[in-house]
Amino acid sequence: MEELDGCDPVRAGWVERWHATSTLAPRVRSIVRCIMAKAGRWLAAEHPQITEPGQWDRVLCAAWVAAIDRMRIGDHVWCTAALGDRVGRPIAARTKVHHLTTSRAFFRDCQEWEWIPRRFDPNRALAPSRSITALIGTDPRVIADDVWAKLLWAGLNLVPGDFPASSAGSYYPMELVRAVTLTWLFAGLRSDEVVRLPVGCVRWQHDGFPIRPDAADILAADAVCLLDVPVNKTGTVFTKPVDPLLGQAIEVWQALRPAQPGMIDRKTGDNVDVLFAVRAHPVARNYINRTIIPALCRKAGVPDTDVRGKITSHRARSTIAGQLYNAKEPMTLFELQAWLGHRTPASTQHYAKITPNALARAYNDAGYFARNVRTIEVLVDRDAVTNGAAATGQPWQHYDLGHGYCGYSFFEQCPHRMACARCDFYTPKDSTKAQLLEAKDNLQRMLTAIPLTDDERAAVDDGQAAIETHISRLADIPTPSGPTPGQLGFPPTATLLPIIDVRQRRLDQL
């Protein structure tokens, strides 16, 4: 095999033996073989005396972990022609963890199968350091909303001229291409699931009851389209609702699809009628990346690469999941888990990322500033200002407490502002003085912001018990006029100052 080129025959024999025994998926076994071949070339260069897995110990495992941490692209690779200008760059943290995960799987299997003695614990000896794992985070690589909207428009308006022409014409019928495109845009499936969809994977329901296939031409406007997803890497067959546009496109291709022999499903081994197949050949797994996405990008006038990298088939799954989770009426985590077909919510959390717009709305709704600062209306007596009465000590600004007015100029600093003790600066609204004040023509109404302490904020938010606690703490604190509330005969409970929001007060005045 090409993965084992340049590797010592003895070491390559152990890798081939594992490859022939393991029950992992063929693609996973190939990856493990490739990485263990790199380990064999590293041994040939650094520890030529080690030729068998049974000779590994904790010291050698530590050396292999250190080598991976310092590894660069192209190191211990048989052929670097396909790597281009990336040769010599440090490998990513995720690649380092992937190498160590593969190494653990190889040695763990060799020990479990009793091929080698248990000289070390692979889960501990080949574990990545925290400095490496700290660099790895979930990265769903969501496509920007404006770019995704353009790709949706391009997919809904595909025509044969959007694809490069050839002398032999298009290999796939346009109905198949349109069905594959809408499946990618609406279903949120992995590319492997898309190309393995079986014939008859679309069903319709109305009011919870199935609709007969012969009644497809009389579908109700609110009919639900259900898509049966084949066995995937995280679960068995499951059903998910999709947009009716997708169901209609699949049924159009299904009606035109020529009869073809059944094909062996590479994951289950069953003989199935593959939906997206022509001339007894299923659509290639990389067809979406190689043909569909470049055509959509050209038609939509957007680049096929953004700040998060190249637009690939799996990025549609991340984008759709993110939009469903951040919608106006969003899916819950468990609903999104069922729609994506994940086995555990932990996998869904990688996709359930809050967008900055949704986070901004939540921050505004939380009212952080309004919680700590409230506005109160102030009446400014312009007569007292213009005739000089304010200079003699006569009150000229009056803070509206709801149940009365406070004429204390430094109201913001008064400790009794949330529970007015009715000192000499206080004027109740049912008094003649307050009525004369409100009847003045030359009166200017203004608003001022009042910052709240922790006790005052609790009095506003937590009800009567917090109010009484706040008042009791102020019982021996002098009022602006001098006496304490107890000396003024202040009752044990008082009317709470209604701190009213600016917008609500304006609405009440209208």
Q: Which of 358, 388, 407 is the last residue of a domain?
A: 358
Q: Is the model's pLDDT at 227 over the cut of 90?
A: yes
pLDDT of 258 higher than 80: yes
What is the number of other CB atoms lying within 10 angstroms of the CB of residue 311?
24
Which one has a higher pLDDT value, 497 or 243?
A: 243
Rounded average pLDDT over 99-121: 94
Of 82, 109, 133, the last residue of a domain is: 133
My answer on whether 378 and 354 are in the same domain is no
Percentage with pLDDT > 70 across the chain: 79
Amino acid 70: pLDDT = 93
| 20 shares a domain with 77 | yes
- Is the pLDDT reported for residue 283 higher than 80? yes
Q: Are residues 397 and 450 in the same domain?
A: yes
Q: Which domain holds residue 207?
A: 145-358
pLDDT band at 2 (very low <50, low <70, confident <90, very high): very low
Co-location of 353 and 372 in the same domain: no
Give the pLDDT band of residue 11 (cuts 50, 70, 90).
confident
**pLDDT given for residue 39 in this prediction:** 92
Has residue 411 been placed in a domain?
Answer: yes
140 belongs to a structural domain: no
Inform me whether the pLDDT recorded for 504 exceeds 50.
no
Final residue in a domain of this structure, among 94, 113, 133 = 133
Same domain, 172 and 227: yes
Q: Is residue 363 part of a domain?
A: no
Average pLDDT over residues 436-448: 65
Together in a domain, 158 and 21: no
Q: Are strands 397-400 and 404-406 parallel, antiparallel or unpaired?
A: antiparallel
For the entire predicted model, the pTM comes to: 0.64
Task: Indicate the range of 13-22, 83-92, 167-176, 280-289 predicted with least confidence.
Answer: 167-176
Is 139 a domain residue? no
Work out the mean pLDDT of the chain and round it to a whole number: 81
Answer yes or no: is pLDDT of 238 > 60: yes
Backbone angles phi, psi at 473, to 5 degrees: -70, -25
Query: Quick one: 271 and 167 in the same domain?
Result: yes
Residue 245 falls inside a structural domain: yes
Higher pLDDT, 215 or 380: 380
Task: Tell me which residue of 432, 442, 434 sits closest to 387, measured CA to CA.
Answer: 442
Residues with Cβ within 8 Å of residue 327, at least 6 apart in sequence: none
Residue 51: CB partners within 8 Å, gap ≥ 6? Answer: 8, 10, 11, 43
The reply to whether 138 falls in a domain is no
Predicted local confidence at residue 465, as pLDDT: 65
Backbone CA torsion sign across 15, 17, 20, 24: negative
pLDDT on residue 496: 45
Q: Do 196 and 287 fall within a single domain? A: yes
Q: Of 39-43, 74-78, 168-172, where does the model show the most confidence?
A: 39-43
Give the pLDDT score at 220: 54
Whether residues 424 and 341 share a domain: the answer is no
| Cβ within 8 Å of residue 459, ≥6 positions away | 418, 419, 466, 467, 469, 470, 496
pLDDT average, residue stretch 149-176: 82
Number of domains in the chain: 3
